[in-house]
Structure 1
Amino acid sequence: MKVNAFEVASRYVYPSLRRRLVEHLRGRGLKQTEIAELLHVTQSAVSRYLNMDRGALIDVSKFREIDDELRTLAEEIAEFRPSEYDIHMRLIGIALKMLGKGYVCSFHAKIDPEVNPVECRVCIELFG
């Protein structure tokens, strides 16, 4: 295994979750500058998420349970304006749930041909 689960989570899963969160906030009619302020990121980062230049390798929307959690988080962010640490903690929790349910295994195998998703149960056992 050349690319471990933590690398997959930090380089691919987390950015994909943030991209989808940005999409949900945009769907609420918020402007890029408003989204950036709420998420404690730059407007440029929001633009890259929306233009699929960042976080586009995993389509989080196909995992209904995860997408519903992100939609709920977007609503909470818009209403309560949590700190960047609270948002980060929630996103990490959602990322761990994705790993624990095995949603990322086939993607991991695509970026690292040495990974055999049939044999590897690391994420499912650690985070499931």
Structure 2
Amino acid sequence: MGQRNGLHLPAEIVAESFVPAVRVSLAHALAERGCAQREIGDFLGVTQAAVSKYLAGQASVDDRLVEDERLQRTVERVADGWVAGDLDAYDAMVELQDLLRTFVDRGPVCALHEEAMPALDGLECDLCVRGPDAAAARERETLRDVRVAVRTFAAADDAAAHVPNVGTNVASALPNPTSDADVAAVPGRLHAVRGRVDVPSDPAFGASQHVAGAVLVANDADSTIRGALDLATSDALLDAAREQGYDPVEFDAAYEGRADELRATFADGVPAFAYHRGAYGIEPVCYVFGTDARDAVTRALDAIAAVE
């Protein structure tokens, strides 16, 4: 299936790709077991002419589905059971429905859906599995928050000049986060390349350690803080932040005990800018916090724009 544009429902992928793959595979499996084309058609709910096309290789199917070992095992089990009389159409439907669930749980149907609808790529969508529940909606909004914040930062003038050598990350946490897995960020970080900000991939949960760790501590001190990014510490940036009305707070650069250090730093409230001056092997970094990733990026860009 080639790439297409626009809206495509998961049901379309199931109807256009999964169902034909199952029918063609079952037709071959039943024919190998000596079933007549009319019998096969009755079982599959298609005409004898359709079965003839299936067996002649005239039906279009996606090899990624047909060659999947899970599909092959299910087809063999269904074919054996039906021929032996141990399985009827209802039982076959149950077997195939179970297979479909595995295929839509980050499986090949998901891959085909992303191919048909590129806007889904990288969103870690599992709507088919969990439905539009509140938790899934919060995850999608958190990922969207990071995507929008990253695009805004990458498009800003002079942003690249404030990206640390180790790279920048932009993070956003779910409500009440407890670990890095509850924080969305960009795998591989953002890097300055020839005066622009390079974004290597779409955001994902659990993709950050240092920025996510800072967000978790900040959120523990103030539950309204769920977003952050890190910039290179410079006197010019800190002065510009002060001009914007912020009061940057310094903390120790050491990685060991970083969470405890930040916790002590945030005892009187989470500052918009928290920085360290670096140490041996540790590049100077300034964290910018906000209510979400977009808010943090807005604060950062306001300061960057004021740098003289």
TM range (shorter): 0.7 to 0.9
Structure 1 pair 99/123, CA: closer, same or farther in 2 (3 Å)?
A: farther
1:47 aligns with 2:52: yes
Counterpart CA distance in 1 for 2:110 and 2:34 is 34
Greater Rg over alpha carbons, structure: 2
User: What's the counterpart of residue 14 of structure 1?
Assistant: 19
Q: Which runs of 5+ in 1 are unaligned?
A: none
Counterpart CA distance in 2 for 1:81 and 1:33 is 20
Partner residue of 1:120 out of 118, 121, 124: 124
Number of residue pairs matched by the alignment: 126
Percent identity (aligned): 22
Alignment of 1:79-94 (within 5 A): 79-80=84-85, 82-94=87-99
More deviation, 72-81/52-61? 52-61
Q: Deviations over 1:81-108 (max 9, x none)?
A: 7544443343233222211251222222
**CA drift at 1:35:** 1.5
User: What's the counterpart of residue 76 of structure 2?
Assistant: 71
More deviation, 118-127/22-31? 118-127
Preserved CA contact (<8 Å) 1:13 1:58: no
**Larger % of helix: which?**
1
Partner residue of 1:109 out of 107, 114, 124: 114
**CA drift at 1:119:** 1.8
**CA drift at 1:2:** 1.0
**CA drift at 1:122:** 1.4
Counterpart CA distance in 2 for 1:74 and 1:101 is 27
The residue type paired with residue 46 of structure 2 is V
Aligned to 2:120, the other structure's residue is in SS state coil
**CA drift at 1:75:** 0.7
Preserved CA contact (<8 Å) 2:27 2:51: yes
Counterpart CA distance in 1 for 2:60 and 2:20 is 4
Q: Which runs of 5+ in 2 are unaligned?
A: 1-5, 132-308
Preserved CA contact (<8 Å) 2:74 2:96: no
Counterpart CA distance in 2 for 1:51 and 1:110 is 28
RMSD after superposition:
2.7
User: What's the counterpart of residue 100 of structure 1?
Assistant: 105
Structure 1 pair 17/24, CA: closer, same or farther in 2 (3 Å)?
A: same
Preserved CA contact (<8 Å) 1:16 1:56: yes
**CA drift at 1:76:** 0.8
**CA drift at 1:111:** 2.1
Preserved CA contact (<8 Å) 2:37 2:52: yes
User: What's the counterpart of residue 30 of structure 1?
Assistant: 35
**CA drift at 1:55:** 5.3
TM value normalised by structure 1: 0.76
User: What's the counterpart of residue 61 of structure 2?
Assistant: 56
Counterpart CA distance in 1 for 2:45 and 2:129 is 33
Aligned to 2:75, the other structure's residue is in SS state helix
Structure 1 pair 97/78, CA: closer, same or farther in 2 (3 Å)?
A: same
